[in-house]
Structure 1
Amino acid sequence: MATSTYRTHRRRLGACALLLGSALALTACGDERPATDAAAPSTGTPSPPPTPSESPTPSETPGASPYVEPGVVDGAPHYGENNAYRRPGEMSVDSAEAARVEAARVRPVLKRLWKAKKWDPDSVRAALTGELGYEVRKTTRKGELIGGQLDVQAMNSRYEGGDYVTPEGAVIGLYVGDDACVTGFVQKTNYEVSTSGRFMETGCFEPPSGH
């Protein structure tokens, strides 16, 4: 009787184990989830990254001049070459220092003339030669220098109201050494004194914008 009871008990345990295994298998199948989009395999060829757009260089721009020079805003060809005459030359160290000394002498004279409202070329010339001892620059008919270092001229004329007019005032050019100048002007509105090298064609006077 005991042996029969034991065998019956083992059969019941085996049946329970089979049922438990089946239940676990069904539960595992029920836990499956579909693949997410991130894990799904790609079905097409990825597109290459977009290439940043680039502006064409001046040489690639249709109609661009091949002769554009650096620093020329309007792109005018040969601008620097054509305007070289409007750039003053270099001054040596000694000449630059000597020009600064002379400019310090000229400045108070022009200031006094401006306050006195005497800015015509004759008054300016008389003050600079009489008070500072400069000599008027003289040349031969061929342009050869005879002597002197001071040149005083009327203001450059300009186009206004359909005609050329010459403003009141005077401009000065004082030649210092072999390569330096003291330049300045005095007129109704203001006066100014500065130093510079010499211009290629006009010496101590800045040439007009036209050539």
Structure 2
Amino acid sequence: MLTLTLGRRRHVAVAALLLGAVLSLTACGEQRGTGAAAGAPSTSPSSSPSSPGASPYVEPGVVDGAPHNGDNNAYRRSGEMSAAGAKDARKEADRIEPVLKRLWGQKKWDPKSVRAALLQLGYEEERTGPKGERHGGSLTVRAMDPRYEADHYVTPEGARVGLRVRKDACVTAFVQKTNYKVKTNGPFRETGCFEPPSGH
């Protein structure tokens, strides 16, 4: 009788071990909860760059946590302006703003009208060679950039203005049906005074 009881205990113990092994194997690859140890406080993976689970490539201050956001968008950062460049750019912006305000009030925001009005301030149109090299002038007026709406691209009415004040300083502006704006900035590496469209 004693050997029969020991035999049953062994079978129960073996069955319990096998059941534990099966449960462990079926849980393999599943993620439960936040991955934190039982009883340990859970932390968000994005709470700090050094927290477990956080990507080492996420930059602080990036809303969507995109890796290498700064590198990918370096082409959209304007150059630094010197103090003298910033002062000269502000002076030219103050000359341009009343003209754009007047044109906006007159509902004249097409590139031809804007260009004509700004040339009356004494600016010269910027001229470039076939490889983009500058041949003089400082003013560029062009149509607004197309933007994607619903299922196609639309070019809104209006004009964009770029005025190269100095090598390190620009005035950038636009006038369109809804509003107008004038600001100063350093030049962009690939597109001069105009902010490049987002992409990449």
1:199 aligned partner, one-letter code: F
CA shift for structure 1 position 142? 1.1
Deviation, structure 1 residue 161? 3.3
In the aligned structure 1, how far is the partner of 2:163 from the partner of 2:49?
44
Provide the identity percentage: 67
Tell me how far apart the structure 1 counterparts of residues 140 and 49 of structure 2 sit (CA, whole Å). 46
Output the CA distance in 1 between the equivalents of 2:115 and 2:158.
12
- The answer to whether structure 1 residue 61 and structure 2 residue 52 are counterparts is yes
Show the counterpart of 1:137.
Answer: 126
Q: 2-side partners of 1:156 and 1:169: how far apart?
A: 9
Task: State the alpha-carbon separation in 2 of the partners of residues 151 and 158 from structure 1.
Answer: 20
d(CA) in 1 for partners of 2:169 and 2:49? 39
Q: Which amino acid aligns with 2:148?
A: Y
2:174 maps to which residue? Answer: 185
Distance 1:106 1:60 in 2: 50
The match for 2:71 is 81
Measure how far apart 1:54 and its partner are. Answer: 6.3
TM-score, length basis structure 2: 0.75
Task: Give 2:179's aligned amino acid.
Answer: N
Offset of residue 77 of structure 1: 1.0
RMSD: 1.7
Query: Which residue is 1:107 aligned to?
Result: 97
Q: Distance in 2 between matches of 1:92 and 1:78?
A: 28
Which one of 114, 118, 121 corresponds to residue 108 of structure 2? 118
Match of 2:157 in 1: 168
Q: Does structure 1 residue 95 correspond to structure 2 residue 98?
A: no
How far did residue 58 of structure 1 move?
4.1
Cα 1:58–1:93 change in 2 (3 A) is closer
Q: Aligned to 1:194, which of 183, 186, 195? A: 183
Name which one, 1 or 2, has greater alpha-carbon Rg: 1
For residues 103 and 82 of structure 1, the distance between their equivalents in structure 2, rounded to whole angstroms, comes to: 30
Moved over 2 A (4+): 51-62
State the 1:168 CA deviation: 0.3
Q: 1:60 to 1:97 in 2, by over 3 A?
A: closer
Unaligned runs of 5+ in 2: 1-38
The residue type equivalent to 1:129 in the other structure is: L
Looking at structure 1, the residues matched to 165 and 67 of structure 2 have their Cα atoms a distance apart, in angstroms, of 35
Distance 2:65 2:189 in 1: 24
SS at match of 2:135: strand
Shift of 1:61: 2.9
- Alpha-carbon distance between aligned partners in 2 of 1:58 and 1:133, rounded to the nearest angstrom: 53
**Secondary structure in structure 1 of the residue aligned to 2:171:** strand
Q: Deviations over 1:78-125 (max 9, x none)?
A: 111111111111100101000010001000100110011110001000
Give the TM-score, by structure 1 length: 0.71
Distance 2:173 2:80 in 1: 18
**1:18-70: CA deviation from partner (whole Å, max 9, x where unpaired):** xxxxxxxxxxxxxxxxxxxxxxxxxxxxxxxxx983636544433x3221112
Corresponding letter in the other structure for 1:124: V
Structure 1 residues without counterparts, runs of 5 or longer? 1-50
Matched position secondary structure for 1:189: coil
**d(CA) in 1 for partners of 2:180, 2:40:** 55
